[in-house]
Structure 1
Amino acid sequence: MTTVPVGTASDAAAERLRRPTRVRLLWFAASLAALALIVAASVAIGSRDVPLPAIVAALGGGGDGLDAAAVQTRVPRTVLALVVGAALGVSGAVMQGVTRNPLADPGILGINQGASLAIVAGIATVGLTSATQYAWVAIAGAAVSAVVVYTIGSLGRGGATPLKLALAGAATTAVFSSFITAIVLPRNDINSVVRSWEIGGVGGARWDVLTQVAPFLVVGLLLSLGSARALNSLALGDDLAAGLGERVALARITAALGAVMLCGAATAAAGPIAFVGLVVPHLCRLLVGVDHRWLLPYSAVVGAALLAASDVLGRIVARPAELDVGIVTAVVGAPVFIAIVRRRKVREL
């Protein structure tokens, strides 16, 4: 077996991660500018459009009654969309880095569905009501689902390959969906609540929900951002990462825990939303490369922008009604991801 000198591996890694800082900063500034415009649109657009002067007046505590009511309703909704989008974007980027799987996503790997099953079971059995209870149960369900999928995907020759993980995730998602249906079907008292929540949306957002899930999101984000350097090493393969001094098992567990916490808390707050964690990291790699020290912050910004923009689009296309953001991300995300794969021919990370 040929041994690659550590110095050579380090040089190769540095070359692969290198991207002009000026370009990265310019794209980051452009992303923040786009995010600001989307936030303004999210507050202004709805069944009743609110002009900018009325928004400013409402935020200052004044303005017309109907305009002020619309703004006060849309501000927490916009914040929830930003927070959930950022969490799902970072979670997807970390999962793709941990598994070295370009198809890794909380939805495709069954993590969302595991969190959903845990919440639905909790609602049906012990009557969960608060966002904090949802978050704890969702994180536990997401963690169990992650372990199940990784164990199944590791069976047989070659270990946990990207294809086997994707297939294991699809099978697990199908099984968990059947369990959810079996729980909800005979329970008319919770049917409407669960069905509405399962679609995934940010309508009806409340500040108390945000404050209750915020600690879980903060811890998950810190764990994920703190794993950036380790994810860069893991991208070289476990053997080379260990040769570079990385504690591979600990690094993988820490990063995975951060991703599971982000995914579980986001699912608890807004329901299972697909494709954000899949599409966003690929878009960001096209802009800033594969260095996770840049990729994770970019994924947070772009994920927030994508989910908020999807929420605005859902209000526009079905006026005066709305499409839940989970439906919009599914419709928009699938063709975008296919286009990225076809153009870049993404095979591995």
Structure 2
Amino acid sequence: MATQTGITISAPDAPFTIVTTVPRPTPGPTQALVKSLAVGINPVDPMQHHTGLLVTSYPAILGSDFAGVVLEAGSGCTRLKPGDYVYGCAPLGQNTFTPFQETFLVEENVVLKALGREGVDVEGLAGVGAGLFTAGLCLLAGMGLELSPDGTKAAEKDEWVVVLGGTGTVGQFAVQIARACGFKVAASCSPAKAEIAIKNGATATFNNRGGADEQVASIKEITGGNFGRIFDASTYGYGVMVAALEEASTAESKYLTSVDDWSPFNTPASIKEYRAELGHLGRLDEPIGAAVTKDIASWISTFEAHLAAGTLKPVEYQVVDGVGWDKVIEGINQQEAGPAKKIIVRTQTE
């Protein structure tokens, strides 16, 4: 059996180890073998390291966001061929699909393909997957928004979407999606980061450091009550969401969506609740995994069209100096220290 280099952990919280004995996977009919070129570091990466969250076996190979190039395509692949640049988010905790190794597998129906090979920004693409997919789950599946299939931006509506945590990776993509769907966007963030939200398309911002009453008042002042959809990308805005929808919204239909899929919620019956569970991507033996995978597969061509057109775009990022697996470990350490921007690591040269 052919082997390759990768990063493994032997147990939860065990040190990362660079090894040369990782089995090289073989693609099935609808899969492709991808060479890892860059990875984006997400909060879930150190979380999996320390807790074993969603890890199916040890020694484990971690990783979530990636960009790479197809080396081999399965006999049933219709979208991918050798030489295609691909990017996205790996199914978490499944060793043959995770990108902290030389090559890994992707299912062609849930991976994004760069449209055109000239000037491919591998580093930028490596930071797209988890943020875009999570925002998509919350806004498209959870709120019922619709992106045009051809990548064009919808005409602006006289209606608002509220995004709490509008300058994190997921929040930035949420702002972009809502704007591409034609909605005005009120995004919460620290005043120092307001420019980031505006750059991503936010119509207005408000201070996320204020108390719940202050934030609800800001939402009402900005929107005039003309909103029925609010998304929390921060994981600590549930109380603000409920209060804003109950006290400040004039909409008949109300939607509350969140990246928090673990805390107990007690959402009023008048509000439709949705929580993103991207970690179950690819777990087709689970009802939530099957639903998440089906949703993301249905949006792939639309996301590709919008990214190619520029109506959706990668978020700002910082790159760890150098290339290699030791740099991935360095990037994870930087993530735990609290980065200013999305962290990208080049894993191998092309």
**TM-score (norm: length of structure 1):** 0.28
The structure with higher relative contact order (CA 8 Å, sep 6+) is: 1
Between Structure 1 and Structure 2, the one with more strand by share is 2
**TM-score (norm: length of structure 2):** 0.28
